[in-house]
Amino acid sequence: MQTPSMTETGHQLPTALEPRNPGMALDLDWVRSAQANTSAIERRAMTLPGRRSVKKDYQAAWLCRAIACIDLTTLAGDDTEERVRRLCAKARQPVRAGLLDRLGMTGLTTGAVCVYHDMVPTAVDALHGSGIPVAAVSTGFPAGLSPFHLRLAEIGESVKAGAEEIDIVITRRHVLQGNWQALFEEMQAFREACGDAHVKAILATGELGTLRNVARASLVCMMAGADFIKTSTGKESVNATLPVSLVMIRAIRDYYQRTGYRVGYKPAGGISKAKDALVYLSLMKDELGDRWLQPDMFRFGASSLLGDIERQLEHHVTGHYSASYRHAMA
């Protein structure tokens, strides 16, 4: 695994402009032909942590890339404006300046800040001038079972408040019942309500029953115009896993090969260690290539991950591990 240079890992560096995925007509033959060999996928996933090993400067560079791809998230019932402002400050300066100087890094920020709708104005204000987008969870997050017109209205309100990215949740029963037309129409309506804001479709894969369902739901959401597909809300009992990621990433590859449009990927929930971030980055590189290692194509939905990455970077620079409380998120 080659390393990106330290000066190429920051969020604000330009990437090739990508046309948004416009979607396409629902192709039920393609959807129903999607299969998933669970045993083979699980065997492949088990080998992933040991297939790539990066050390020293290479590891530091890849961890900086991981930071640039984090959607720094707070989705707690006790969120306050002050907590969100502190989180936004962390997004602007995810690693203390002294460490970045030693690493030769400049301009490193997280990929976005993700909050509930009520905190969007606070986050937009706190991030003004940084170039860091605000992502809002929407459509009755996390269950997605509020009245449909209210879910659409919620998207509109978040966009109006300044959110540039909207993380929507699909209706899981559409997948469990194989009602692909209903899922397609729902996703189309969400995409239209988002307007210019990019939409991430949360599949809640831990509640979809099978990997085959995950593959088919991924395709339908992309056909309906999703800019990203995302594993989980982080609130399910099972969130991002490597087998699920393999299925979703290969659906993205299949969609790109057939349509020419790139769709992003966001694993979320349960990714809290730097070593896990490295596994996901290597998986993206192996399966989709370097273009999907940019923040506009790949994100981690995480809160505690950044703290562990910062600890690893400090160890790289000083040779010593620091206590986790020295790297608080907010």
Q: Which of 90, 200, 227, 230 is catalytic?
A: 230
Amino acid (1-letter code) at residue 257 = Q
Hey, CA dihedral for 255, 260, 261, 267, is it positive or negative?
A: positive
Q: How far apart are CA 268 and CA 109, in angstroms?
A: 19
Rounded to whole angstroms, the Cα distance separating 23 from 96 reads 41
Q: Which of 71, 90, 167, 276 is catalytic?
A: 167
Structure tokens at 217: 């739901």
Token digits of residue 74 = 């707070």
Instruction: Yes or no: say if 226 and 187 are a contact pair by the CB < 8 Å rule.
Output: yes
HSE-up (13 A, CA, CB side) for residue 6 = 14
Tokens, residue 199? 């939409």
167 is catalytic: yes
Backbone torsions φ then ψ of 28, nearest 5 degrees: -70, -30
Write down the catalytic residue from 266, 276, 285, 296: 266
Enter the tokens of residue 220: 């339908």
At residue 202, what are phi and psi to the nearest 5 degrees?
Answer: -85, 120
- Can 230 be counted among the known catalytic residues? yes
CB 136 within 8 A of CB 165: yes
User: Collapsing DSSP states into helix, strand and coil, what is residue 214?
Assistant: helix
Give whole-number Cα distances, 85 to 126, 127, 132, 152, in Å. 6, 9, 13, 27
H or E, element range at 245: helix 242-259
> Cα torsion for 212, 215, 216, 217, to the nearest 10°?
120
Residues serving a catalytic function are 167, 230, 266
